[in-house]
Structures are given as structure tokens and as C-alpha cells.
A = this chain, B = another copy of it.
């Protein structure tokens, strides 16, 4: 058990995810400065639809690591903003396919640029080698717990 000696003083920062909170806040701020009026949670749903449009709500749950009620309400809000629409599947009437509107399609380039720029702000002074290792660790943590 290689982690038994994990030092207690270091515990808090790992658990609380201050870094990801900071990234989320900065991204939200950068959206706002560019007059992009969506939340980062809404953006995270759009992000997966830009990669593949017409996902079901369950697929969005898996992709965004959220539970079903969270996705129901995010889709509710995105629908109110006219950024997506629910389309009942003909094969399986339990399923809603979620499709981007043209308004949402037009957000892709701008918001991806903002997200990339935000990430550059966040990772300033970090080497690509360090990033690789950090990514491996975070992926490993995720796989251990998901």
C-alpha cells in the first residue's frame, strides 16, 4: 500500500479540488467578459454535443459524469435558452435525443477558444511533461472511484 504515508497536511488540497474550482470560475468569468451567457455546466453539455450531436440524456449523463436529474434540468435550461431541443426517439419511446440548435452550433468556435485560452492561463509555467503526469494521476483517480 504505497500511499499509507500520504501526509495529512497535504490531504485537504487534494480533496477539495481547489484547482478545478479555480479553473471553473475563471472560465465562467472569461465567458462573461466575452458576453457568452451560459454556465460552465451548460457549456460542458454542449461540448459533448459538438463532438456528437443527438446524444440521449443517458449518454450525456455518462459523458459529463452527472446523474439523471442533473441532466434533466440542464437540458431543461438549455432548451429554455433555445440551445438544444429534445426529440423523442422513434425506436425507443423512453429516449430523448438531444440536438443542438443553430444558435448552439454558432457558440462552438468562440467558446472553445475561450476554454483553450483559459487553460493556457491555468497552466502557465507548467511543462508539458508535468501536464502529462497530472493527467495520468487524475485519470487514475477517476478510474479508481467512478
Residues of B close to A134: CB separation below 8 A: 133-134, 137-138
Structural contact, A17 and B21, CB atoms closer than 8 A: yes
Cα distance, A1 to B3, chains bound together (Å): 35
Cα distance, A52 to B44, chains bound together (Å): 38
| A25 sits at the interface (CB 8 A) | yes
Structural contact, A123 and B144, CB atoms closer than 8 A: yes
Structural contact, A25 and B122, CB atoms closer than 8 A: no
Residues of B close to A47: CB separation below 8 A: 12
Q: Which residue in chain B gives the minimum CB-CB distance to A123?
A: B3
The number of chain A residues with a CB under 8 A from chain B is 59
Q: Which of B5, B112, B141, B145 contacts A126 (CB 8 A)?
A: B141
Residues of B close to A136: CB separation below 8 A: 130
Q: With A16-B65, A136-B130 in contact, is A141–B11 under 8 Å at CB?
A: no
Q: With A124-B144, A133-B130 in contact, is A20–B22 under 8 Å at CB?
A: no
Q: Which residue in chain B gives the minimum CB-CB distance to A112?
A: B8
Tell me the minimal C-beta distance from A49 to chain B in angstroms: 12
Cα distance, A22 to B25, chains bound together (Å): 19
